[in-house]
Amino acid sequence: RLFAVGMFSSAVVACSTDDGGYYYEAPQVAYGVIANASPDSGNLFFFADNNQVNQSGLSYTRAEGYYSFFPGNRVLKLKNEAGVELASDTISVAAGQAFSVFAVNRFEEIELVTYPDTLDYPAQNKARVRFINLTSDAPEVTVTQNTTVLANLSFKESSGFMDVETGAATVFTFSNDSDSETPYTLTAANLSPGHIYTIYTKGYVSPAAGSNDTFSTQTIRNY
């Protein structure tokens, strides 16, 4: 098998027989999050080569992991509930590497996109956050914290991870070139110090008639 189902700890601690202390064993696997950020996609199943990763279908905006993957070249595949392959991508992962793979774009153009993760601790009393633009009809999204511009992101583009203050006083604003007069705002009230997050934009700037999947954000806690 090319992966082992389950969550992982950021480090493996074992007893040292030499000095009675502790040491950290080097990981022998890579770690991946799977996420469905494709509107109208239904339940999706992720595969590593020919091995199914998630046992239950992953609905829109849901994420799971970290799952363990053996290092090397892995062919990631995406299938629907009928077993029809929708998209595939080949990635190369190293032992100890953490990553997140997203199903993105409108369902008719669904694809897989992978981003490297960091699991280093944030500064004291802060959270570590990155932002990704996964709104397919937003040519560019500008992310500001209060009045400071943090990132300008084209579709599928990610910022780096950055440390931010938590609490209701920290406000993130997401504006897009298609509709800059109606930005989406999110406070950091639900972010906890010492943790790591991915915040991605989702939905449509101009949703189809009858759809309420408007431009907004979704948060994943990576650690």
What gap in Å lies between CA 4 and CA 156, rounded to an integer? 28
pLDDT tens for each residue of the chain, 223 residues long: 334 334 443 333 333 333 444 545 557 999 999 999 999 899 999 999 999 999 999 999 999 999 999 999 999 999 999 999 999 999 999 999 999 999 999 999 999 999 999 999 999 999 999 999 999 998 899 999 988 899 999 999 999 999 999 998 899 999 987 655 667 999 888 899 999 999 999 999 888 877 778 899 999 999 9
Residue 156 CB-density burial (10 A; 0-12 exposed, 13-18 middle, 19+ buried): middle
* Residue 25, pLDDT score: 54
* Residue 13, pLDDT score: 30
Name the amino acid, one letter, at 31.
Answer: Y
Which DSSP letter does residue 177 get?
T
Q: Is 202 helix (H, G, I), strand (E, B) or coil?
A: strand
* Residue 182, pLDDT score: 61
* Residue 18, pLDDT score: 39
Structure tokens at 174: 């997401």
Dihedral angle over CA of 79, 84, 88, 94, nearest 10: 50
Structure tokens at 194: 């010492």
* Residue 207, pLDDT score: 86
Going by C-alpha positions, the residue among 162, 91, 109, 107 that lies closest to residue 131 is: 162
Structural domains for the chain: 1-117 (2.60.40.1120), 120-223 (2.60.40)
Q: What is the pTM of this model?
A: 0.87
Residue 37 CB-density burial (10 A; 0-12 exposed, 13-18 middle, 19+ buried): buried
Residue 128 · residue 98 · CB < 8 Å:
no
* Residue 179, pLDDT score: 58
What gap in Å lies between CA 90 and CA 111, rounded to an integer? 12
* Residue 4, pLDDT score: 38
Query: Bridge-partner residues for 125, per DSSP?
Result: none
Residue 24 CB-density burial (10 A; 0-12 exposed, 13-18 middle, 19+ buried): exposed
What gap in Å lies between CA 181 and CA 170, rounded to an integer? 21
Structure tokens at 155: 């579709």
* Residue 126, pLDDT score: 96
Going by C-alpha positions, the residue among 88, 5, 87, 75 that lies closest to residue 41 is: 87
